[in-house]
Amino acid sequence: MPLTDVNADVNEVIELARELVKIPSVYMQEAEISNFIYARLDEWGLSPRRVPVENHGPCIVAESGAEGAPSVVLNGHMDTVEVMAGWEHDPFGAEIEDGRLFGLGSLDMKSGLAAMMIAFRNLFDSECTKRRRLVFQAVPGEELDGSGTRTLIKEGSFEGAEAVIVGEGFGGLGAVTNGRRGGAYYDFEVMGQSAHGAMPHLGKNAVVDASKIICALEESELAVSETLKSDAYELLRETQTILQISGGGDSLSVPERCRVRFVRCTIPGGRTDLQTELESMVADLSLVCVVKIEFKGEPGNLYLPYLTNPSEPLVKAAVASLDEHVGSEPVLVCGVSEADDNLIAQELGLPVICVGPGESGETARYHQPEESIETSQLATAVEVYTSIVRRLCGI
């Protein structure tokens, strides 16, 4: 049955997105935007609360509905990456040109956050709150280590949740992200033996052996999914990146230590524990140095891949809502980068999706200068979020 009473005010959501973009909120510097969101929700009469997050601005949480009822959570992050070189527009100017909103965070993900705020307000005292509890979360630290969402998981903000919608819009409103790759981070500690640099044969060069490890990693065979698509609408693949190499010094000495950090972005249903594979690879290199391989599995590094079953009511509601308000059935995709939905799935086992305004192809300038988003998506996103929640509530 069509949901005809969810129309959004186009100008309102665009203006709210612009206000958010104008507030600098690089990760660990979210206090100002957190205060803004709190004040706006309070102005709307939505009874927000602050949840402190160490080294970050606080999370802002608002809830509505019967205590103890199953809840639907709207989660979005308010932080951004740092300002990259190459901006032509003012990254905090929130200028609109040719139907596009330019600015840091316009795409990732202040437009989605604005749409979620308005959708939550519109649902706050609706029929939905007689059937479900609705929770809105604006979180910091997503671009660093998921600190905000990790804090809310520990605090119990997801208690009783039956579905979580994260407002990341990778792929735009033509896609529903019902899964995501994970990140397996490893450190190679290469331990050699120092000697005078003029007599290298007396030492064991850790930098040389580390370079051999890097070359071997670059030759690794990476998995490709037979069925899952990425948010670029291609078959989902593993990728890997050498993140750091450090070792040696300024003196004329054979480097005795070197460290290499790398990440393998693993796919749902595939391998996540690479220890045996990596140990076998190193053994085959016949290195002169001793190598210790350490999996970086502590909080802040571990993001496991996940896949929310397409038969879940949450996924079905999202597909139906996008079909109605966008005019075409969306593609189910897996995100290639880590995000807070990884944490929600792995820590809580909840059905979770990402959906929202976003871009694909050349305009998908995530973590790049000249970030922008097509403004025509924003009001539609409000309608989509509203419709998903209403469908989950049986309305």
Q: Which domains does the chain have, with CATH numbers?
A: 10-180+305-392 (3.40.630.10), 187-295 (3.30.70.360)
Using only C-alpha atoms, the chain has a radius of gyration, in whole angstroms, of 23
Q: What is the pLDDT of residues 126-173, one digit of tens each?
A: 999 999 999 999 999 999 999 999 999 999 999 999 999 999 998 899
pLDDT at 5 over 60: no
CA distance 37 to 201: 63
CB 331 within 8 A of CB 368: no
pLDDT at 334 over 70: yes
pLDDT at 324 over 90: yes
What does the pLDDT read at residue 317? 98
CA distance 15 to 21: 10
Q: What is the pLDDT of residues 163-206, one digit of tens each?
A: 999 999 988 999 999 999 998 999 999 999 999 999 999 999 99
What does the pLDDT read at residue 154? 96
Portion of the chain with pLDDT greater than 90, in percent: 90
CA distance 168 to 357: 8
pLDDT at 94 over 70: yes
Confidence grade of residue 272 (pLDDT, cut at 50, 70, 90): confident
What does the pLDDT read at residue 268? 96
DSSP letter assigned to residue 21: H
Residue (of 251, 343, 360, 271) closest to 302 by Cα position: 343
Confidence grade of residue 346 (pLDDT, cut at 50, 70, 90): very high
- Token pair listed for 376: 């025509």
Q: What is the pTM of this model?
A: 0.91
What does the pLDDT read at residue 310? 98
What does the pLDDT read at residue 299? 61
What does the pLDDT read at residue 203? 98
Mean of per-residue pLDDT scores for the chain: 95
Instruction: Kindly state the average pLDDT of the residues 74-90.
Output: 98
pLDDT at 8 over 90: no
CA distance 103 to 67: 39
Instruction: Kindly state the average pLDDT of the residues 210-229.
Output: 96
Confidence grade of residue 232 (pLDDT, cut at 50, 70, 90): confident
pLDDT at 216 over 50: yes
pLDDT at 370 over 80: yes
Residue (of 82, 39, 32) closest to 58 by Cα position: 32
pLDDT at 357 over 90: yes
CA distance 116 to 384: 10
**Those residues with Cβ within 8 angstroms of residue 208's Cβ, 6 or more apart along the chain or in another chain:** none
CA distance 342 to 180: 7
What does the pLDDT read at residue 367? 95
